[in-house]
Amino acid sequence: MDRRSFVIGSAAAAAAFRPSFAQDTYPTRAITVINPFPPGGAVDVVMRPLAAILEPMVQKPVVIDTKAGAAGQVGAQVAAHAKPDGYTLLSHLTSISGFAEVDRLFGRHSRVTSPIPACSSATISSRTRR
């Protein structure tokens, strides 16, 4: 292959492909934060003001979805089985969010990953693919 064939072939290949576009900016729709405890509890008291501050920043609605029961395990399971796209977050108490340790103790695989500290009394987790 000579230089001329290479240049012509490269130009033809570049012209044949459409320009690739980046993904849409995050978020493109509402963000759901799962509260795994009853309304009025520590997580609720922390997340509602945080959601009110977060909405103007992301310019999309931030919805608090309460899934109380079993010391937060019901909400954690809902978050663990949510689509791993970053639009469903879990807000949990750091004092009892050692469910990964409990799962390890009983030989189960933990599905909730990536703890993101929100403040001293709550933690937000997002499930993503790795």
Angstrom CA distances, 88 to 12, 65, 67, 98, 105, stand at: 44, 10, 13, 20, 27
* In the chain, where the domains are located: 28-128
The tens digit of pLDDT for each residue in 71-124 reads 888 888 888 888 888 899 988 876 665 566 666 666 766 665 555 444 434 445
Confidence label for 26 from pLDDT (cuts 50, 70 and 90) = confident
Degrees, nearest 5: CA angle 57-64-76: 115
Q: Strand 31-35 and strand 122-128: pairing?
A: unpaired
Domain 28-128 CATH (choose: 3.20.10.10, 3.30.1540.20, 3.30.930.10, 3.40.190.150): 3.40.190.150
Nearest partner of 33 among 24, 43, 25, judged by Cα: 43
Kindly report whether the global pTM for this prediction surpasses the value 0.85.
no
Partner residues linked to 63 by β-bridges: 32
Peptide bond into 27 cis (omega under 30): yes
